[in-house]
């Protein structure tokens, strides 16, 4: 349903054909067709059958390499989640009970910054172009929506680590884990690369292993993750759809694996919880709380599982001046009402969850024909800037999860990923494929930003 997010960061680097892989990039593995040699000072090091990486220094594998006993993806049982592989470092990270953002500076994705800078350069109005360019300094999350992007995480973490060393300012990298098999079971625009019928669960476990292998190399850089937008919310309300009911057990096993593995390397996780107009309906609150609390407990109640992310890639205000008419019938007409309703239910179920709320595209309100409309909503503007000054003890941070300007889905009805939501009258058209840059949309987000840029 949501963005397919980013092209690979490697697009910024020299093309594969005549290049060596850069530090921390992939240099081999089953199915890999890129470069197999590494830049000077690094060695192509096998992490598993599917993944080799350019690691600085000697050819002997570093202590952080996953142990040889890590099961290859094909041997992963399909019904029993495997136990955590032990790490090579031996030290188990300890979760801070505080807000994960406190004391940290958020790392800016160089990929999004580059997209924004290129987009601003195309705007002829000088005042608007300057406002557009300023968006490059506002932190968003980076979406890892295909396995071949996982190597980019190492590039970002290495960059963040060097900023941390040179400035003394601790860095926090924000990521979205988004590659479930049969992804987006209730919509079409963000269909993923893995299918349950074709080894999807094992492929997903491998995807998580790749992210974890990168994160392990940089224990001093903090990582915060949003886990699988829409997935658990679909299990609350859309099990009547065949694709969602088929996916139920696999989604649960995959999210469980992601939470456990990421917690083991010190990543702070927030599970996606839809938004006020989805799970915020009174009838959905209690089933949602039960599901999220169960997933939390099944993943060992790790203190690294901080809570839930709401309004990801959506348009709801945190605090609406007045209810949008489309919210009629739901007393939880904005995100703060939703969070204030869900938070105590989670507490009762034993999950002391806190929240983060996406406000990246929530600057303008009362734009939609129906609350469920989600695709490239016309007239949307950038919203409240990311801040930990949230006005609510339940909310750790206002964030921008969706990188504004990347398309939600194509309006081309001949495309295999066409979702009819993207051709509704409140959707901006013509729109390109999900995740690709949508210049006209970005320009509107800039001009309608509230507060203004
Ligand atoms: C990464 O994977 C996606 C989906 O499988 C594919 O469309 C894309 O071409 C791949 N990109 C690269 C750089 O290999
Ligand atoms: C729409 O998608 C079809 C199928 O992918 C493609 O052939 C066609 O060129 C696209 N049309 C536009 C206007 O992009």
416 Cα nearest atom in ligand 2: 5
The chain-wide mean pLDDT, for the chain, equals: 88
Ligand 1 centroid vs 110 CA: distance in angstroms?
20
- How confident is the model over 413-432, as a mean pLDDT? 96
User: What is the number of the ligand closest to the CA of 431?
Assistant: 2
Q: How many other β-carbons are positioned within 10 Å of the β-carbon of residue 168?
A: 7
Q: Given this model, what pLDDT does residue 18 score?
A: 55
Mean pLDDT over residues 111-134, rounded?
98
- Closest residue by Cα to atom 8, ligand 2, is 414
Is 230 among the residues known to form the active site?
Answer: yes
CA 424 to chain centroid, in Å, comes to: 26
Q: How far apart are CA 107 and CA 200, in angstroms?
A: 31
Place 109 in a pLDDT band, splitting at 50, 70 and 90.
Answer: very high
Q: CB 97: neighbour CB atoms within 10 A? A: 8
Residue 11 Cα: closest atom of ligand 1: 13
Contacts of 47 (CB under 8 A, 6+ apart): 53, 65, 66, 210, 213
Residues 145, 182, 230, 419: which is the catalytic one?
230
Which residue is closest in CA terms to ligand 2's atom 7? 414
For 31-46, the pLDDT digits (tens) are 777 889 988 888 887 7
More confident residue, 383 or 70: 383
> How many angstroms is it from 422 CA to the middle of ligand 2?
15
Residue 7 confidence (pLDDT) above 60: no
Region 441-453: what's the mean pLDDT? 98
Of 319, 244, 235, give the one whose Cα is nearest residue 276: 319
| Closest Cα to atom 12 of ligand 2 | 412
**Is the model's pLDDT at 74 over the cut of 90?**
no
Residue 279 pLDDT > 50:
yes
Residue 327 confidence class, pLDDT cut points 50, 70, 90: very high
- How far away, in angstroms, is 191 Cα from ligand 1 center? 14
Share of the chain above pLDDT 70, in %: 86
Which of 407, 409, 412 has most ligand 2 atoms within 8 Å of CB, for mutation?
412
With 80 as the cut, is the pLDDT of residue 307 above it? yes
Least Cα distance to 311 among 422, 423, 226, 418 occurs for 226
Task: Report the percentage of the chain scoring pLDDT > 90.
Answer: 78
Contact 137, 102 (CB under 8 A): no
Q: For residue 324, indicate whether it is catalytic.
A: no
Could you read off the pLDDT of 138-183 as tens digits, one per residue? Answer: 999 999 999 999 999 999 999 999 999 999 999 999 999 999 999 9
pLDDT of amino acid 133 = 98
Residue bearing the CA closest to ligand 1, atom 8: 148
Q: How confident is the model at residue 82 (pLDDT cuts 50, 70, 90)?
A: very low
- Say which ligand is closest to the CA of 414: 2
How far away, in angstroms, is 139 Cα from ligand 1 center? 25
Q: What are residue 51's DSSP bridge partners?
A: 48
As a whole number of Å, the CA-based R_g of the chain is 21
Q: Find out whether 172 and 161 touch, Cβ atoms under 8 Å.
A: no
Would the CB of 436 count as within 6 Å of ligand 1? no
Residue 252, pLDDT above cutoff 60 = yes
Q: Is the beta carbon of 433 within 6 A of some atom in ligand 1?
A: no
The residue-averaged pLDDT of 73-93 equals 43
Q: Which of 411, 415, 416, 430 to mutate to test the pocket of ligand 2 (most atoms within 8 A of CB)?
A: 415
- Residue 47's pLDDT band, with cuts at 50, 70 and 90, is low
Statement: residue 77 has pLDDT above 50: no
Tracing tokens 């997935």 back to the chain, one arrives at: 231
pTM of the model: 0.83
Residue 21 has phi, psi (to 5 degrees) of: -70, 145
How far apart CA 418 and CA 408 sit, in angstroms, is 11
pLDDT score, position 66? 31
Q: Tell me the pLDDT band of 8, cut-offs 50, 70 and 90.
A: very low
- Atom 5 (ligand 1) nearest CA: 193
Q: What is the pLDDT of residue 75?
A: 31
Give the pLDDT confidence score for residue 197 in this predicted structure: 96
- The tokens of 386 are what? 């990311």
Q: Higher model confidence: residue 150 or residue 11? A: 150
pLDDT of residue 216: 97
Each residue of 336-390: pLDDT tens digit?
A: 999 999 999 999 999 999 999 999 999 999 999 999 999 999 999 999 999 999 9
Pick from 410, 404, 406: which is nearest to 364 by CA? 404
CA distances (Å), origin 448, targets 15, 130, 326: 37, 14, 21
């Amino acid at each position: 349903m949501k963005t397919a997010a980013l092209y690979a960061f490697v697009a910024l680097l020299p093309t594969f054909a005549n290049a060596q892989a850069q530090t921390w990039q992939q240099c081999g593995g089953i199915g890999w067709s890129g470069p197999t040699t590494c830049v000077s000072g690094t060695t192509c090091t096998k992490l598993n059958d599917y993944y080799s990486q350019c690691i600085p220094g000697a050819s002997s594998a570093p202590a952080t390499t996953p142990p040889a006993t890590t099961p290859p993806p094909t041997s992963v049982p399909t019904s029993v989640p495997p136990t955590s592989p032990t790490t090579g470092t031996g030290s188990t990270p300890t979760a801070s009970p505080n807000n994960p953002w406190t004391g940290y500076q958020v790392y800016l994705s160089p990929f999004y910054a580059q997209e924004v800078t290129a987009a601003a350069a195309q705007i002829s109005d000088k005042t608007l172009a300057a406002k557009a360019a300023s968006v490059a300094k506002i932190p968003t999350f980076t979406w890892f929506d295909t396995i071949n992007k996982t190597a980019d995480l190492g590039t970002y973490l290495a960059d963040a680590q060097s900023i941390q060393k040179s400035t003394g300012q601790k860095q926090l990298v924000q990521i979205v884990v988004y590659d479930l098999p049969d992804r987006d079971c209730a919509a079409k625009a963000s269909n993923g690369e893995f299918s349950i019928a074709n080894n999807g669960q094992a492929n997903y476990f491998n995807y998580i292993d790749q992210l974890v292998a990168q994160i392990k190399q940089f224990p001093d850089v903090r990582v915060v993750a949003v886990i699988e937008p829409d997935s658990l919310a679909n299990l609350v309300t859309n099990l009547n759809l065949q694709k969602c009911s088929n996916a139920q057990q696999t989604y649960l096993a995959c999210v469980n694996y992601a939470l456990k593995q990421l917690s083991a390397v010190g990543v702070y996780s927030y599970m996606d919880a839809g938004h006020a107009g989805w799970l915020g309906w009174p009838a959905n609150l209690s089933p949602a709380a039960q599901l999220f609390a169960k997933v939390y407990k099944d993943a060992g109640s790790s203190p690294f599982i901080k809570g839930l992310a709401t309004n990801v890639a959506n348009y709801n205000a945190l605090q609406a001046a007045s209810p949008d008419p489309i919210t009629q019938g739901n007393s939880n007409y904005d995100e703060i009402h939703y969070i204030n309703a869900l938070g105590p239910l989670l507490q009762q179920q034993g999950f002391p969850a806190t929240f983060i709320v996406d406000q990246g595209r929530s600057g303008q309100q009362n734009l939609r024909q129906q609350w469920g409309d989600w695709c490239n909503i016309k007239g949307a503007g950038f919203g409240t800037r990311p801040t930990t000054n949230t006005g609510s003890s339940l909310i750790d941070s206002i964030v921008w999860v969706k990188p504004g300007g990347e398309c939600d889905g194509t309006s081309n009805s001949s495309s295999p990923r066409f979702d009819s939501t993207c051709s509704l009258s409140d959707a901006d058209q013509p729109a390109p494929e999900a995740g690709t840059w949508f210049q006209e949309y970005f320009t509107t987000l800039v001009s309608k930003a509230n507060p203004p840029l």
